[in-house]
Amino acid sequence: MKKVLLLLSLFCTPLLHAQEDAEQWLQHVESYLNSLSSLQADFTEVVFHSGQWRTGTFSYQKPGRFRWQYAQPTSATLVGTGSRVFFYDAVTHQITQVPRNVGFLGLLSQKEWRLETDKTRVSNIATSDKHVTVALSFPSAGGLQPLKEMLLVFRREPLQLQELVTIDPLDRRVHVGFSAIAENAQLDPGLFKFVAEQHPLDN
């Protein structure tokens, strides 16, 4: 019996430590995200199944305001004003109001960062010498879910968000890599107001 208990302890202890480490890293990651009053970075977005790519600038201001400014190869803007999200295509001059509570937009729109919510589940946390990767899943609530999984990749020391990977229900992947990252800088409030040519400011 003592041998059996010893064997069980040998197998269970690493699992318990792994679970504890995952919980600690989740707290660490959420604490880092909540410490950000702002974040601005250049980004490159690659759609794997088509080979298409786009570059631009990402800006985030707590709470819940953000701007994806696409520059190349075509100009477009995705703006979260804190209450609504708009997409503006500079080629077609079309404006679309998009849902603000799904995928990464849902996380950005939060007043406080929480990765484990009623819309997202933390399915795995993997660590290496240089990176921490948080895998999120998106359980369907009977409606259409545009994402199946999302990976947030952080530099480990000091902690910093560096990559984002989204996977849709057809297993199509989109990779976003961030560079020239500036944290907690003073950003122009006008970045988070919706302006498209002759269209008025969003109040």
pLDDT digits (tens, 9 = 90+) for 47-104: 998 889 999 999 999 999 999 999 988 889 999 999 999 999 988 889 999 888 878 8
Q: What is the mean pLDDT of the chain?
A: 85
Which of 194, 198, 197, 199 lies closest to 84 in space, CA to CA?
Answer: 194
Place of tokens 């804190």: 82
pLDDT for 6 beyond 70: no
Output the pLDDT for position 140: 67
**57 compared with 144, residue with greater pLDDT:** 57
- Would you kindly state where each structural domain of the chain is located, as residue ranges? 2-192
The residue among 160 and 2 whose pLDDT is bigger is: 160
pTM: 0.83
Q: Distance between CA atoms of 127 and 130, rounded to whole angstroms?
A: 8
121: closest CA among 136, 106, 107? 136
The alpha carbons of the chain give a radius of gyration, in whole angstroms, of 20
DSSP-derived letter for residue 78 is E
Under the banding of pLDDT at 50, 70 and 90, the label for residue 20 is: low
CATH number for the segment(s) 2-192: 2.50.20.10
- Any idea which residue has 């002759």 for tokens? 198
pLDDT band at 200 (very low <50, low <70, confident <90, very high): very low
